[in-house]
Amino acid sequence: MKNLHKRMVAFMLVCFLVLASGVYAADALYRLMHNDHDALVIGEIISIEGNNTIVKVEKSIISSKDINANNPRKQLQLKEAKIIEPFGYNFFYNEDGSNMIDPSVGDYVLISLMKSGNGLKVAWGAYKVDSLDYKSLSIVLPEGCPVWAKMDAAAIKAFVNSDGKITEFSFDGDANIVRSGENIIFDGSKEDAADAMSEDIKDTDKDEYNDEFQSSINIIGGSDGPTSVFISGNPLVALIIPIVAIVILCLAAGYVVKKKRK
């Protein structure tokens, strides 16, 4: 009977962890801000030939917080980045997955990179930016982009402008507010809140963006503690599935124990 009880407890714990992993998980934005790549660079595209793109690196950003705390990934200090796979800019994809604009020579970029063979590939995002000055640059966004893109762009801007020192953000998906500590860095309720540069995209249907899937997983953390991930909106709703599953498992365990006693 004791062995059966232990098995049921272990099974319940495994189920809870599996279910909870869908609620709490590091996303691409978190990984970009926590050194889960070989380099995060700001630079200018100086050459595009076929699938190969060369970026002249102006600045490397190394986060003050590392996702691999026990075994930090060594960050490359690059003068040039040879990207050997085609890529597009985050926020510039249509619903069908096609690029609205292609990277061009002369573009300023912020790119998370991973080693791949004799070159590099994009790891956790490629962003078009309006400057090579890390202290003041903004993420370039297409006209009419959804508010979640502006929220992400505001967090990335704050992270880069701080040279990787600011890594903790909270996202309120209901109020469309992004905070860094106690400071509001983006307020979607204000017309002038978008702290990102907007670029005209011709022949683009703005309504396409409104139907784009918005990830509900966002970064939150305190300056003195580990950064974690949270679900925007009502947390009770987010946890209802694992709670219901655990209740069902408990009832099932009780039924099995009762049968065994008989």
pLDDT (tens digit per residue) in 186-217: 998 874 444 444 444 434 343 433 433 333 34
Q: Is residue 182 scored above 70 in pLDDT?
A: yes
Question: How many C-beta atoms lie closer than 10 Å to residue 34's C-beta?
Answer: 22
pTM comes to 0.67
Q: Could you give the C-alpha distances from 112 to 132, 133, 137, in angstroms and in order?
A: 15, 17, 16
**Half-sphere CA count of 77, side-chain side, radius 13 A:** 0
Give per-residue pLDDT as tens, 12-66: 554 444 444 333 334 889 999 999 999 999 999 999 999 999 999 999 999 998 8
Give per-residue pLDDT as tens, 85-125: 999 999 988 877 778 889 999 999 999 999 998 899 999 99
